[in-house]
Chain A
Amino acid sequence: MKKYFMVVIALLASSLVAAKTPIIEITIKDHLFYPSELVIPADKKVKLLVINADETAEEFESYELNREKIITGNSKSIIFIGPLPAGRYPFFGEFYPKTAQGVIIAQ
């Protein structure tokens, strides 16, 4: 029991150390992601600035990234991603998944 708590506390403590993180912008327009392909550095945390230029809300979702966030119409929001090992991480807009599709490439 105690051991588990130690691990949790260690993880919590390390997480509070904030570092300067690069910001990457992505725009939702007409239920499409621009750009639909994002290249980010591998093993490094990035700040994803999602701008929703549509009237309607969209939900940024990715099973591979474990991310899920509603971005209301005409607003912006921030999602932290990574550090990710090199690879392809598809994401999509849950409300319009047929058109709003994209992929994050960590390299």
Chain B
Amino acid sequence: MLLTAIIIVLREVLEIALLTSLLASVGKYIGIRFHHFALALLSGITFAYLYAKNLPTISELFDYTGQEWINSILQITIYVSLACFIILLCSNPHRMNNLKRLMMCLMLMPIVLALTREGSEIYIYIDSFFHGNRPVFPVVVGSIIGSCIGLSIGALIYYALISCPLEKRLTIVKCALAVTACGILSQAVSLLLQADVLHSYPALWNSSEYLAEDSAIGQLLYAILGYEATPAPQQVIVYVVGLLLIISGVVIHKYYGSKRAIDV
């Protein structure tokens, strides 16, 4: 039970911790403060609780595919706000001043939504133990270990990024956020496949022999890149398209921004 608790909690916490540490490391650049993050985390936890409480009802929606719909919508929204955030992060600092409020929302939105999704899963898992007759203690210890590992990784990444010069840090954060966003987008596609909204095709490849998805590295890559050992073709396509959209967004924004600057 300890191991299960660790894996479940760690998987969810790690995803949020990575996202938060990446966003927080450029937070000062945008003028975001600690209490903004605290507010985002708090509302995320509240939404997670509400989501978990209403999950039985939600699950029955749309011919028992409500869960997939809601989750994929959450994930697509995360992708969209992260993509917009990355694109706006490429503006010059002068223009960014006018966009601070928007960027703040784009930055906190993914945290709130990711926490809603992952938090509800943790809540349901732990809650089921307090209602069962199984020993709770290992689950509590496991949850502590899992969340501490996740938070520690997040804190170390945050401080590693903070110690980088701003220019380099921005580049790293943009790249990392882009792959994370695309990973989340491909998860959304996987959910739509599960709900039969999209037609399933055989997996494009099977790399589980080289890197199993349930191994520690596989889990870490899943959180960062959205790694899957047996991805569906649509997942790969959406991943690539998602990346291309962000890149072209950045290029267009830069071109447009520099043109505007010349006009002025």
Binding site for B on A (CB under 8 A): 1, 4-5, 7-8, 11-12, 14-18, 21, 45, 47, 55-57, 59, 63-64, 66-73, 75-85, 94-98
Contact = CB atoms under 8 A, between A and B. Distances in A.
Contact of B198 (A7, A15, A56, A64): A15
Interface stretch (B76-84, B165-173, B240-248): B240-248
Contacts of A12: 198
B230 A66 contact: yes
A84 B200 CA distance: 9
A15 B195 CA distance: 11
Contacts of B4: 94-98
Contact of A4 (B132, B228, B241): B241
A100 to B, nearest CB: 10
Interface residues of B, number: 49
B190 A59 contact: no
B200 A45 contact: yes
B27 interface: no
A5 B60 CA distance: 33
A68 B190 CA distance: 9
25 contacts: A1-B244, A11-B198, A11-B199, A11-B201, A11-B237, A15-B198, A16-B199, A18-B196, A56-B128, A63-B229, A63-B230, A66-B228, A66-B231, A67-B194, A70-B55, A70-B67, A70-B124, A75-B56, A75-B59, A75-B60, A78-B64, A78-B65, A80-B194, A83-B200, A96-B4
Interface of B is mostly: helix
A2 B56 CA distance: 41
A5 B200 contact: no
Interface string B221-264: 00000001111111001101100100010000000000000000
Interface of B: 1, 4, 8, 55-56, 59-60, 63-65, 67-68, 121, 124-125, 127-129, 131-132, 190, 193-203, 208, 212-214, 228-234, 237-238, 240-241, 244, 248
Nearest to B245: A1
Contact of A80 (B124, B131, B196): B196
B200 A95 contact: no
Contacts of A11: 198-199, 201, 233-234, 237
Contacts of A75: 56, 59-60
A69 B67 contact: yes
Contacts of A79: 194
Contacts of B203: 66
A80 B202 CA distance: 14
Contact of B125 (A16, A55, A57, A77): A57
Given A63-B212, A66-B203, 16 more contacts: A5-B241, A11-B234, A55-B131, A59-B121, A66-B194, A67-B194, A70-B67, A70-B121, A76-B64, A80-B195, A80-B196, A84-B202, A94-B4, A94-B8, A95-B4, A95-B8
